[in-house]
Chains A and B, each alone.
Chain A
């Protein structure tokens, strides 16, 4: 009785985490989509206003050390940051799902190569290689950033999808489909992939959050797109001009809060999805 009750409570709590996480992410996305429509791009240029002004009625979030209006900067930087995270997440998810499926289905030496490959990539600290690549690229852009980050965050999805493929492969309905003569791509796309969707969704959230973590780390080191506004670059410039030491909290706190909000939203979604996915699996087997 007690355990059944706590189980129900756990389900509710996990759904609540999923719900809250998705809500936070939705809010952030709406802000990123609509925000840029209401601001004047010119205010985000160097020297557009008086520098180093604390928040006031005219500049709600004050101005930074180079005279940019912080509210404008924030609203323009948010969509760029999300774009890097989403594009990088999508690329590495596609690579991860493809490799995971191949690895799980093919087995043998192909499986071995993919496994060793992802093990090796997991061992290499991503940021080290990213630093090396970014330091060699002359002009960094948002798109290039996403591709670079994606090359080093496909491993988690690969491993998760491979493990699930291995277990799905042995299920009864797949065996039946096989006996019925379903082969190759049709088997993968019609029978396997739809059943992997919850895992793919869960991997996507983790991949996006890893990609964003790597991106913001690179940007904070000064290796991000110099000519574009992103949250990480805002933090880099604040750090570069000593905003913390000079007590200009309105310069570094808004990007920190925005980034934290995104990560908390992603984490709650991930936790919620995890128990959701596991419940489904537990219920079926």
Chain B
């Protein structure tokens, strides 16, 4: 059964990667006109870069994509370059390679996203449990429920309000960037504190917006778990409330939360892109925004491809882990 399940999920991952690469190949070719020429003309019109650069770039692109060759040939060539992680050059920052731009932004995004997701997952799950637990004081439950409202608001809107309050009005945190200017990056205190100082506001805006979603899921699950016979038995046995809450209630209600993690991964990443934009945080999302601003087509394409593939792979890995922690999942239900 597990083998079937793994095969199915693996197939879906391959299909997603195949589709992502294909869409990346097809969409620019559906647009009217020659994208490279249009982009380069725009670049010349805006006065950026010397004429020699532009010619060299155009030649390099034509050679790279073999635009004079038949379509299937171009398609195979595209696959070949994608597999070698060769995504072309940045138009705005020539001769920077797209792969370099992505690698430079990746650690920031992964760090911010990983940290914020971990915190919101933990806090949200706990909050949901507390709200659903019938012996929680009423005011605490009401306060917890009102937090759920934030889950419906896009992350970056909360980010803008936080930015205004904490960076402009009260000047507690910096208004942008990932680390104080001139910090020598290394394993030292100034790096860590600088990262934390700059990362706090973006992380908090993601956490505030996410907590509610986790809490909602957890509340629903815990309510149904608390109706199970084994909870009644535990109560009849005279076990302590806390023991029932943690070991009988929370532990069983938590498993579907991990499933939800995979389903919301795409949503979390999309939200984080805009949070990075608001705080000028030097990750992938901010780079994407800059690329859109400067019509830097190959950077846009590269980042989109990377996001899609990495989410597909991450979901596959999560899917592999679930049946191990929750034997009820065996692929039949999904």
Q: Which residues of A contact B (CB under 8 A)?
A: 116, 119-120, 122-129, 131-133, 135-138, 209, 213-214, 216-217, 220-223, 235, 239, 244-245, 247, 249, 252-253, 256, 259-260, 263-264, 266-267
Report how many A-B pairs have Cβ atoms within 8 Å.
127
Cβ of B297 and Cβ of A244 under 8 Å apart? no
Cβ of B24 and Cβ of A132 under 8 Å apart? yes
Instruction: Choose the segment among B96-104, B192-200, B249-257, B269-277 that binds chain A (4+ C-beta atoms closer than 8 Å).
Output: B269-277
Instruction: Choose the segment among B65-73, B159-167, B182-190, B233-241 that binds chain A (4+ C-beta atoms closer than 8 Å).
Output: B159-167
Residue interface bits B16-39, CB-to-A below 8 A is 1, else 0:
100110011001101110010000
- CB neighbours (8 Å) of B301 from chain A are 132
Q: Which residues of B contact A (CB under 8 A)?
A: 11-13, 15-16, 19-20, 23-24, 27-28, 30-32, 35, 149, 151-154, 156-157, 160-161, 163-164, 168-169, 175, 263, 265-267, 269-271, 273-274, 277-278, 288-289, 292-293, 297, 300-301, 303-304, 307-308, 311-312, 315
Shortest beta-carbon distance, A13 to chain B, in Å?
10
- CB neighbours (8 Å) of A116 from chain B are 11-12, 15
Cβ of A131 and Cβ of B288 under 8 Å apart? yes
Cβ of B160 and Cβ of A252 under 8 Å apart? yes
Shortest beta-carbon distance, A222 to chain B, in Å?
5
- CB neighbours (8 Å) of B163 from chain A are 244
Shortest beta-carbon distance, B332 to chain A, in Å?
13
The secondary-structure label for the interface of chain A is helix
Cβ of A124 and Cβ of B20 under 8 Å apart? yes
18 new A-B contacts, CB < 8 A, other than A128-B308, A264-B153, are A120-B19, A123-B12, A125-B265, A125-B307, A125-B311, A126-B270, A127-B273, A128-B307, A132-B300, A135-B300, A217-B156, A220-B277, A239-B160, A244-B160, A244-B168, A244-B278, A245-B168, A256-B160
* Bound CA–CA A267/B248 (angstroms): 30
- CB neighbours (8 Å) of A129 from chain B are 23, 304, 308
Contact among B16, B160, B161, B263 for A124, CB-based, below 8 A:
B16
Cβ of B304 and Cβ of A239 under 8 Å apart? no
- CB neighbours (8 Å) of B308 from chain A are 124-125, 128-129
